[in-house]
Amino acid sequence: MQNSLLLSSALGLMTGLSLIVAIGSQNAYLLRLGVTASRSVMLPVVTVCALSDAVLIIAGVAGVGALVQSLPVVMTVIRALGAAFLIGYGVLAAKRALKPTAMVVGAGTGRGADAGGDAGQARRSLVSVLLTVLAFTWLNPHVYIDTVVLLGSLAQHQTHPWWWAAGAILSSFIWFYALGFGARMLRPLFEKPRAWQILDVCIAVIMFVLGLRLLLGF
């Protein structure tokens, strides 16, 4: 019995990782943030991302996936809002890429915002980052499809659906914490303005492509 439960969890873990470890808008944003931000900023950010996934996966296993599929109007609204957000962020990334000399590690919500600065400004920066990452999560229809619909449906076909879901949830925590804190190892590379320019160009392209895909409905 115990081996069966562990196997279900392991399968859920591998399935979750196969879906989440991909180049997407949320991962691109977290990569950039992970390079610049301090641990005090990244901890609540990656925790919010992982908990959001957990909520969506639990909703899917509980049967909300069928409800989501039966409300195309809601998904259309989310798609429109998500597309506008992604394209808008893509424009900001493109603007940053045009001014690479202004990009330094520790700017904005990074070390400069946390080290000896105004505590009120640091709190405002953290709130801004949290709102942004929540938008990347909850305004992305693909997140609902991957978690609520797909993972929820797969869980229903498992012998131990909730153990399988626990493995999928664990995959989200592993990935977001690894990405958020692992990105710090790239800091020496991003001391060069050219590296920031290349990263922001890539982010802009990702945001534009995903935003247009949402607008076109595929």
Give tens-digit pLDDT for 84-116.
Answer: 998 999 999 999 888 864 444 444 444 344 444
Q: What gap in Å lies between CA 18 and CA 103, rounded to an integer?
A: 33
Q: What gap in Å lies between CA 201 and CA 111, rounded to an integer?
A: 23
* Tokens read off for 81: 């809002």
Contact present, 55 and 127 (Cβ < 8 Å): no
What 3-state class would DSSP assign to 140?
Answer: coil
Q: Which is nearest to 138 in space by CA: 22, 59, 31, 23? A: 59
- Note the pLDDT of residue 18: 83
How far CA 184 is from CA of 97, 104, 140, in Å, comes to 20, 14, 26
Residue pLDDT tens, the chain, 218 long:
677 788 889 988 988 888 887 778 889 999 999 988 888 899 999 999 999 999 999 998 887 767 766 777 777 888 888 889 989 999 999 998 888 644 444 444 443 444 444 555 567 688 999 999 999 989 888 888 888 888 888 887 788 889 999 999 999 999 999 999 999 888 888 878 888 889 889 999 999 998 888 888 75
Residue 110 — φ and ψ, nearest 5°?
-90, -145
CA count, 13 A, side-chain hemisphere, 175: 25
Q: What gap in Å lies between CA 207 and CA 91, rounded to an integer?
A: 9
Q: What gap in Å lies between CA 105 and CA 37, rounded to an integer?
A: 8
* 205, burial (CB in 10 Å: exposed 0-12, middle 13-18, buried 19+): middle
**Which residues are CB-contacts of 73 (< 8 A; sequence separation ≥ 6)?**
none
Q: What gap in Å lies between CA 136 and CA 130, rounded to an integer?
A: 10
- Give the predicted TM-score (pTM) of the model: 0.78
- Note the pLDDT of residue 120: 57
Q: What gap in Å lies between CA 8 and CA 17, rounded to an integer?
A: 14
